[in-house]
Copies of this chain bind each other. A is one copy, B any other.
Amino acid sequence: MLALTILGNNSAIPAFGRNPTAQILQTREESYLIDCGEGTQLQMSKYKIKRSKINHIFISHLHGDHYFGLIRLLTSLSLLGRTQDLHLYAPAELEQIILLQLKVADSQLCYTLHFHPLTKDELILNGNKITVHCFAVQHRIACWGFLFKEKKKPRKINQERVLSYEIPVSFYERLQKGEDYINKKGLVIPNEEVTFTAPQGKSYAYCADTIYDETLPDKIKGVDLLYHETTYLHDLKDKAAARYHSTTLQAASIAKKAEVKKLLIGHFSSKYEVLNEFLTEASAGFENTDLALDGVSYII
């Protein structure tokens, strides 16, 4: 199970109490922070997100509405006495900015911060339960999307059958991985005979600020949940393109082409006070769409 909580859904200029971009993806054990606009830490307090469960932070790009809250989060964690290592996946220049801000404050973090610069589409985290790939999206400056996938879970042993086939306990782990068993007489016991299929791992793709990009669907094919920015309604598609942003119908088109199960839209321009039309327009193009709303958790 994955759950995504929205901590901010607005674009650069603050408006209507909406916060700049930040999201928390949670498994049962850990939390992953995706982007960290100003005020993210306060949003975490508001929505009871435990900062101590965050060991990995992903920053899509270095426009301020996606990272200005990070330095305060990092220094607060230090003031609060964190000791666990923290991993930061971000464009390389962020390291300079953080180190400079620590230097002028004559401060050090009391935990180890590992910088992982994003350089090409690749696997950037191979955890116990989850993998994370980054992939380039097209924005005014270097910008990255992130694809989170729960790892394949082990198959479940059918207790009755393994006993009847007299399969030794020492072979169970290999059964869980999907291997067939060959008994002393050379008889092959097919894996499906003695195990149950494991539930499918879930997947989430985060497409940060991006122009409409037809190469995206291949990178995020069939995910359970896709977040795609919709800075503008579709009548402003020229403005969107000029600013390397997307519209409602463009996000819907990507969702459709990628055959995702559900679409979440956000990064709304500060010119819009009411968001209903975003939902109406995007749903017309891709039915299973939701607005990314502050404080709302979406179970994947």
Beyond known contacts A12-B75, A93-B100, A97-B100: 13 more, CB 8 A cutoff: A13-B79, A14-B42, A14-B45, A38-B68, A38-B72, A39-B42, A62-B101, A62-B104, A64-B71, A68-B68, A68-B72, A96-B100, A104-B141
What is the CA–CA distance of A96 and B101 in the complex, to the nearest angstrom?
Answer: 10
Q: Which residue of B lies closest to A68 (CB)?
A: B72
A41 CB contact (under 8 Å) in B14, B93, B97: B14
What is the CA–CA distance of A72 and B40 in the complex, to the nearest angstrom?
Answer: 14
Looking at chain A, what size class is its interface with the partner chain? 20 to 34
From residue 56 to 91 of chain A, which have CB atoms closer than 8 A to chain B?
62-65, 68-69, 71-72, 75-76, 79-80, 91
A105 at the interface (CB under 8 A from B): yes
Query: Quick check: B91 and A104 within 8 Å, CB to CB?
Result: yes
What is the CA–CA distance of A101 and B96 in the complex, to the nearest angstrom?
Answer: 10
Known: A14-B41, A41-B14, A45-B14. A105 touches B141 (CB 8 A): yes
Report chain B residues within 8 Å CB of A62.
101, 104-105
A141 CB contact (under 8 Å) in B93, B106, B141: B106
A–B pairs, 14, beta carbons within 8 Å:
A12-B75, A14-B76, A38-B38, A38-B69, A39-B42, A62-B101, A62-B104, A62-B105, A63-B105, A65-B72, A68-B71, A68-B72, A97-B100, A97-B104
Q: Which residue of B lies closest to A38 (CB)?
A: B72
What is the CA–CA distance of A13 and B12 in the complex, to the nearest angstrom?
Answer: 24
Query: Quick check: B64 and A105 within 8 Å, CB to CB?
Result: yes
A53 at the interface (CB under 8 A from B): no
From residue 93 to 134 of chain A, which have CB atoms closer than 8 A to chain B?
93-94, 96-97, 100-101, 104-107
